[in-house]
Structure 1
Amino acid sequence: MAQGAHMAFGDHRNPVIRPGDLPPYLRTPGRTIPSFHNRASKHAGSAKKQPTNTCGYPLPGVQNPSATSVMAQDYFVSDDTWAKILKEGQFDYIVVGSGLTALAFIDETLKLDPMKKILCLERGDFWLPTHFQNLPLPFKMVLGGPSETFPWTLSRKTYEEKSLGFCHGSCPFFGGRSTFWSAWCPQPSKELMRDFPESMIKTAEDPKFWNDAKKLLNVVSAKNINDPVYKDLQGVIDEIMQRTLPELQKQGFADSVEPAQLAVGRSPGSRSYYRFNKFSTPGPLLAIYEKQRNLAKKSPVEGMPLEIMLNCTVNHLRSLPDDESNYVRFIETSQGTLSWIDDNTKIILCAGAIPNATLLLNSFKDCRPSEGGHVGERITGHFLTHIAARYPAKYFEGGEWRPGGLHIAAEYLAGRGKARGECDGDRGQFHVQITAIHTSNPEGDADDAARECPDYAAAATYEQLKDSKDHVVFVCASLGELSENNDSTKMKLNDTKDPSSNITLQFTLDQKDRDLWDDMDAATYKTIEALCSGNQLESDGKLPPIEYWDTDANEGEGGWSTKKPKQHTIRIPGIVHEAATAYVGEKETGGSLDKYYRPHGIKNVFVTGGALFPTSGSWNPTLTMCGYAQDLAKKLHEGIPEE
């Protein structure tokens, strides 16, 4: 394949660029009809028309369009444009993936310089336009199953460890996991970012780091969501937890508690009113696309079009055999090979901790443990416990809240396991995501309850709510960190032919993990007891017992019981939030990336996401991951010094 040469287009040292001067691989679709009423206006003739068979004349048009073919007309790279990109396309950044860190990097880059040329490569198709919880209730069926793919071979040891069982997979569609995530966005303290390198800690100490990430994701405290469902019960639950926190701290069950920090999708046309819907990337990415398209239509041009290519899997990053400059010069994809001859193009990996590491292992021998590298040697993540309980609603009356209608509250409690050695820093981290829900009309509120809960996978079910009209139901989803020092937990290349999935993945539990899981479960039960103390710090012996949901009751149908459920019914298989597969640190001490998030020895490849973290903590990682993706954009805008 011929290698194209860089053109001068987009170089803002040559500021006068007209729309007609844009290279053919950067597409600016023509005008579309903005509304039905304009079909009869003077604007109707200016809309883009099909060259033949317009409106069924002289022949019928395409009768079986696909979702991708329809969207590609205006939003995604068409076959014709892709052919031009392969032939002569030159970009400042090629972004692999379309999830949350891809959005963070692209958004920040184009804010800093809208003239940057960016190509986003997504391995999957267009599927959901928004988070599945924002859609009608029947879309709950898309959670998991065919919508989740596992680009690895799971080890038998992990499969047979029933409390782990597997690692949650990827969502192989435009937007990735962002269309399914829980939206919890806690901000970890410096102390919780254990063993993070000094460069990453220093970056996170700047208040702008967190503020920019929160602004991107529209992070809102549950107590500030201007939605009637989150109004009154939230205040009651938060007051109880704040009041009981000192006792929980004294007993070693908690370090802190706060109203949940949630990524909230903005209501169209409103800056002040938040209707609780879930944040995901398809809408914001397409909004950036539209903005850049409009900037590219101005004369002179004020911005470069953003190009998004679907169904394009990146398999290898390559350098020329005789090139000792340590620059990647071409990318092998499932849709052909992209190549260039200069040093300007940079590759940004935004595909997730395991896919990013898989690509590095396939592309660079020096990243492989067999060749002295460290990618995949360390991998961590979170294990989960779910406990549901209920308590009479009358004990939570307070402020403006009284039982009746639909009410939801979300609270976040962070803690650490018991000290079992001389070093307090060895205490593993966990947190409890508390969702409280009350409805006096379970059947009528089923749709809203499912849609508005912060995490559908950890929400009260209809079966739990239908006989709980006089109760507040609590669902506690607790996450604990897997030890990063477990040598049996790792990923490595295997002989599978497909380079996008030719790894073997293994998670195991060591004794530290088992101890922390026990401590986390105990803290979760203690949190529920604190919640159900009502307006009393300690029970006076007259309060009714707490009821727990037991999935084994009623011959497996489930039911409420005053007995705590068995351990195997509350521990949820499936590792989430995997991290540390290629973390920032010196190569001599096990690190895989330098302080600019590049693999050691490679000059134009950069990694985002949980792969960067040396430890996982217990906190939901998305806010932090997006912050570092934005930081990467800032570093590249400022310029990385030559070594």
Structure 2
Amino acid sequence: MVAPDSQADPAGGLEEILLATFEEAAAGDFDVIIVGGGATAAVTLKKLLQLAPDTRVLLLEQGPYLLPDHVQNLGVVLQPLMDRAVANPWRSEGDLELVSQVPYLGGRTLFWSGASPQPTAQQLAGWPKSVVDELDEEWAEAKRIVGVRRASELGPEFGNLNSRLRQRIHEGTGPDSQLVLPADPSLLDAPLGMAATTEPGATRKFSAVPLLFEALAGHRGSVAVLPRCKVVGLACEDGRVTAVRTTRGELAVGGARIVLATGTVENTELVLRSLPPSATPLAGSNLAGNAASFFNCRLPRAAFEDLATDRPELAALYLDGATEDREFVLHLSASATVDPGRDVETVYRLLPDVFGEGTPERLTDPDHVVFLVNGVTELAGVRAADSPSRVYLDADGATVGAFHLDESDRRAWDALDRTTDEVLRLVAGDSALEYWSPEHRRWESEPVAARRMPFAFLEAGTLWMGESPEESVTDLHGRLHGLDNLYVTGGALFPTRGSWNPLLTMAALALRLARHLAR
């Protein structure tokens, strides 16, 4: 535990000044131990301390401190980290690779896109009704924490270009399209986790790190964050977790409750390594997630009238679509500028999905409107012990993520790609699209053949919640069946997954769990 008056050598760096040591953590007496330092950990911690300020909390993060905020809040010079600050501590098999983790304090919230839709009642139809009803009480606060606003609310940059694209798509989409459009075209504006700041016109994309540091600052004597401490197992006895095994040593639990708040695969791996298969026969099955098609294209600037020249013109649209039994979503972003040097930082800060080598430079082409096209489709899980897509430990003890697409998954991906081309035809009108070829490093007239990403991401479902241990892995509050003091939060709890970005839903679930823990 870090005492309120403890001193640290500033030369030791930020970790030594603000964060705990293993010796301090081992000597502490905690009420709650949170495993993970990403979004769900930060939101759980924030709400728990709001409801029960004297709660003693230890947070264990496997990686070091890397960045104080989302990388897009910190300047375009750091953009290459989006592709480089990752790790793959698991093996993949099946049709798609498992996406990399971000092994640093803040996790994927250092680099995430910002998309923050609230799932509809229909999208949560496979969830327990009591959970859905209670989430209705959490959405508003979750949106405040994440900072959710529509793209057109972010500033004057989302002006004529955004409205023109929205109009062309809403008015031009025919009855045979697989897009599912709202009656109100303004609802096509992407919901993004980008809160306003005290500086006029400024925004800040959500990240877990500021929330964690706020908790440390406000509860210096009762909250400890221990980085570089990976949890590798849990010792369990008589229906309780009794110790947390880490790469730095073992920590006694005492009367604490444990919250697994890492990623879906990491949470599942811990359960599989800590309990015999007979205790959790369903753990690891029901692996769900998303697949993606991603590319850049462009149109001549002259294809759009009345674009501003005193600032960049930006757009960010969120277009839902569906097949008979799957859903997909098209994230369509665009940029137009006449002064790349003036505008590159603004474009980088405000648009989602600005990853990939050279993307900021391509987005600030003075002669073109440049599009980021990011289509996301559903990969459904199967809630059964023999589900084909799953997380498991192989004979050598390695963690394996297996994604196997079925025919419905494949049809939905095909529908996504067809719909994407349909939308781009509406956007282009009589103008000719050009497509960026990563292979040839140039713009070409033919669509990109290799638009499909080789990995699955936003994985979920493997420790899903439900009424009984015969039909689920965790109870309705995320407590593992059979263990009194072990809770799970995050995407692993989802009984079903669609194509929507899950971060807002994970935040709402974390708020709900914090209320339960504070009672």
Given the alignment, which residue of 113, 120, 125 partners 1:189?
Answer: 120
d(CA) in 2 for partners of 1:235, 1:253: 18
What is the correspondence of 1:259-270 to structure 2 with a 5 Å cutoff? 259-267=189-197, 269-270=198-199
Measured at CA, do residues 394 and 556 of structure 1 come closer, stay the same or move farther in structure 2, by a change above 3 Å?
closer
Measured at CA, do residues 509 and 223 of structure 1 come closer, stay the same or move farther in structure 2, by a change above 3 Å?
same
Shift of 1:620: 0.3
- How many residues matched? 512
Give 1:132's aligned residue. Answer: 71
**Residues 383-428 of structure 1, C-alpha deviations (whole Å, 9 max, x = no match):** 0012433334344336xx44664221111011102x3xxxxxxx20
Amino acid at match of 1:625: M
Give 1:601's aligned residue. Answer: 482
What is the correspondence of 1:396-411 to structure 2 with a 5 Å cutoff? 396-397=304-305, 401-402=307-308, 405-411=311-317
Give 2:377's aligned residue. Answer: 480
| 2:91 is the alignment partner of 1:153 | yes
Shift of 1:516: 0.8
**Residues 177-203 of structure 1, C-alpha deviations (whole Å, 9 max, x = no match):** 110111110111010124112232222
d(CA) in 2 for partners of 1:396, 1:49: 57
**Residues 149-174 of structure 1, C-alpha deviations (whole Å, 9 max, x = no match):** 1221223xx3xx4xx3x221211111
| 2:18 is the alignment partner of 1:75 | yes
Give 1:105's aligned residue. Answer: 44
Give 2:105's aligned residue. Answer: 174
Measured at CA, do residues 274 and 248 of structure 1 come closer, stay the same or move farther in structure 2, by a change above 3 Å?
farther
Give 1:390's aligned residue. Answer: 298
Higher relative contact order (CA 8 A, sep 6+): 2
d(CA) in 1 for partners of 2:403, 2:478: 25
Given the alignment, which residue of 201, 208, 215 partners 1:281?
Answer: 208
Given the alignment, which residue of 492, 496, 506 partners 1:625?
Answer: 506
Give the stretch that moved more between structures: 506-515 or 97-106: 506-515
Shift of 1:210: 0.8
Whether the 8 Å contact between 1:430 and 1:480 is mirrored in structure 2 is yes
Amino acid at match of 2:434: Y
**Residues 311-354 of structure 1, C-alpha deviations (whole Å, 9 max, x = no match):** 1111222233xxx3x12121111222221444xx1111111100
d(CA) in 1 for partners of 2:32, 2:363: 49
Measured at CA, do residues 241 and 29 of structure 1 come closer, stay the same or move farther in structure 2, by a change above 3 Å?
farther
Shift of 1:372: 5.8
Give 1:93's aligned residue. Answer: 32
Amino acid at match of 1:137: V
TM-score (norm 1): 0.74
What is the correspondence of 1:169-568 to structure 2 with a 5 Å cutoff? 169-204=100-135, 206=136, 208-226=137-155, 228-244=156-172, 247-248=173-174, 250-256=176-182, 258-267=188-197, 269-270=198-199, 273-293=200-220, 305-320=222-237, 324=238, 326-342=239-255, 345-365=256-276, 368=277, 373-397=281-305, 401-402=307-308, 405-417=311-323, 419=324, 427-442=325-340, 445-457=343-355, 461=359, 464-465=362-363, 469-485=366-382, 487-496=387-396, 502-533=398-429, 543-544=430-431, 546-551=432-437, 556-561=440-445, 563-566=446-449
d(CA) in 1 for partners of 2:69, 2:40: 17
1:571 match: secondary structure:
coil
**Residues 69-127 of structure 1, C-alpha deviations (whole Å, 9 max, x = no match):** 3224431013xxx424424x211110111100011100111111111111111111111
Which portions of structure 1, spanning 4 or more consecutive aligned residues, are displaced by more than 6 angstroms?
none
What is the correspondence of 1:12-31 to structure 2 with a 5 Å cutoff? 25-29=1-5
1:90 match: secondary structure:
coil
Whether the 8 Å contact between 1:98 and 1:281 is mirrored in structure 2 is yes
Tell me how large the CA RMSD over aligned residues is. Answer: 2.5
Measured at CA, do residues 348 and 557 of structure 1 come closer, stay the same or move farther in structure 2, by a change above 3 Å?
same
Amino acid at match of 1:472: V
2:164 match: secondary structure:
helix
Shift of 1:489: 1.6
d(CA) in 1 for partners of 2:14, 2:517: 31
Higher normalized strand content (fraction of residues)? 2
Amino acid at match of 2:285: E
Measured at CA, do residues 290 and 556 of structure 1 come closer, stay the same or move farther in structure 2, by a change above 3 Å?
same
TM-score (norm 2): 0.91
Measured at CA, do residues 249 and 557 of structure 1 come closer, stay the same or move farther in structure 2, by a change above 3 Å?
same
Measured at CA, do residues 529 and 460 of structure 1 come closer, stay the same or move farther in structure 2, by a change above 3 Å?
farther
> Structure 2, unaligned stretches of length 5 or more?
none
Shift of 1:438: 0.6
d(CA) in 2 for partners of 1:84, 1:127: 22
Shift of 1:515: 0.8
> Structure 1, unaligned stretches of length 5 or more?
1-24, 31-47, 51-61, 294-303, 420-426, 534-542, 639-643
Measured at CA, do residues 632 and 249 of structure 1 come closer, stay the same or move farther in structure 2, by a change above 3 Å?
farther
Measured at CA, do residues 463 and 382 of structure 1 come closer, stay the same or move farther in structure 2, by a change above 3 Å?
same
1:457 match: secondary structure:
coil
d(CA) in 2 for partners of 1:589, 1:49: 51
2:80 match: secondary structure:
helix
Measured at CA, do residues 521 and 339 of structure 1 come closer, stay the same or move farther in structure 2, by a change above 3 Å?
same
Give 1:297's aligned residue. Answer: none
d(CA) in 2 for partners of 1:236, 1:403: 16
Amino acid at match of 1:611: A
Shift of 1:434: 0.9
- Percent identity, please: 28
**Residues 539-589 of structure 1, C-alpha deviations (whole Å, 9 max, x = no match):** xxxx33x3130517xx7123131x4332xx211222110001111124565
Whether the 8 Å contact between 1:386 and 1:572 is mirrored in structure 2 is yes
